[in-house]
Amino acid sequence: DAKTTQPPSMDCAEGRAANLPCNHSTISGNEYVYWYRQIHSQGPQYIIHGLKNNETNEMASLIITEDRKSSTLILPHATLRDTAVYYCIVIPRNNNDMRFGAGTRLTVKP
Amino acid sequence: NAGVTQTPKFRVLKTGQSMTLLCAQDMNHEYMYWYRQDPGMGLRLIHYSVGEGTTAKGEVPDGYNVSRLKKQNFLLGLESAAPSQTSVYFCASSTRSDNYEQYFGPGTRLTVT
């Protein structure tokens, strides 16, 4: 499986865009990029996923580089409630073993 | 919809005791999962199920057993608890294997002394 590398922590000012990077340089052609977040001690929450095209939903945007070796999750207008640990996960289609790494702890500051 | 619920929320066990954690989902999902999360770490998959009556091992299955007798329920058992099993346990469910939009429960905090 492809490994992901994320910075351990980041800060963002409230109201600004939060850009969370993820490196997955060994990703294979059939592997998707998924993003989850975990607020405090709650269960993780799905955010967004993509294969090679950029994706956007009501929560965030996902930008995947053309070579697919890295991606960026963008929260366009971060709020205090977006403070959480964000996990970038790379997983092949039809593989049930989703591996969560240590993630990036995002702190949104007023 | 309640989504994914877990019972109990907290539990303290002595070494060697047994217990069962219950996960229930009301979304008619085919797939269900059990994870554990140790302090400061990401989640690790213990066991999963792709449908009623079927289960499979994940990354860290040793010391745990599971059963999926009904589609909406997924049970995680600890036959002889050890301090190394002190963790927060999360259950999740999803519609199918190629959709990793998993819905997670609130977690069970287990301490083994």
Rounded to the nearest angstrom, the minimum Cα separation between A20 and chain B is 17
Cα separations (Å) of B108 from A1, A5, B6, B26, B67? 29, 28, 7, 19, 18
Task: Kindly identify which residue of chain A lies nearest to residue B105, measuring between CA atoms.
Answer: A43
Confidence class for position B11, pLDDT limits 50, 70, 90: very high
pLDDT of A1 over the 70 cut: no
pLDDT in tens, B29-55: 999 999 999 988 889 999 999 999 999
Rounded to the nearest angstrom, the minimum Cα separation between A31 and chain B is 11
Q: How far apart are CA B64 and CA B20, in angstroms?
A: 10
Q: How far apart are CA A103 and CA A80, in angstroms?
A: 18
Q: What is the pLDDT of residue A8?
A: 95
pLDDT in tens, B59-103: 999 999 999 999 999 999 999 999 999 999 999 999 875 567 899
Q: Which residue of A32, A43, A97 is in closest CB contact with B45?
A: A97
Residue type, A96: N
pLDDT of B105 over the 60 cut: yes
Q: What is the pLDDT of residue B74?
A: 98
Q: Under the phi-then-psi rule, with left for phi > 0, alpha for psi from -120 to 50, and beta for the rest, what region is B58? A: beta
Q: Name which of A60, A50, A58 is nearest A24 in CA terms.
A: A50
Cα B85 from chain centre: 13
Q: What is the pLDDT of residue B10?
A: 96
Confidence class for position A101, pLDDT limits 50, 70, 90: confident
Q: How far apart are CA A19 and CA B44, in angstroms?
A: 26
Percentage of chain A beyond pLDDT 70 is: 98
pLDDT in tens, A66-97: 999 999 999 999 999 999 999 999 988 777 77
Confidence class for position A5, pLDDT limits 50, 70, 90: very high
A/B interface, count of CB pairs below 8 Å: 61
Q: Which residue of B42, B90, B101 is in closest CB contact with A103?
A: B42
Q: Name which of B25, B14, B10, B4 is nearest B88 in CA terms.
A: B10
Judge: B59–A97 Cβ closer than 8 Å, yes or no: yes
| Portion 58-97 of B in contact with A at CB < 8 A | 58-59, 88, 90, 92, 97
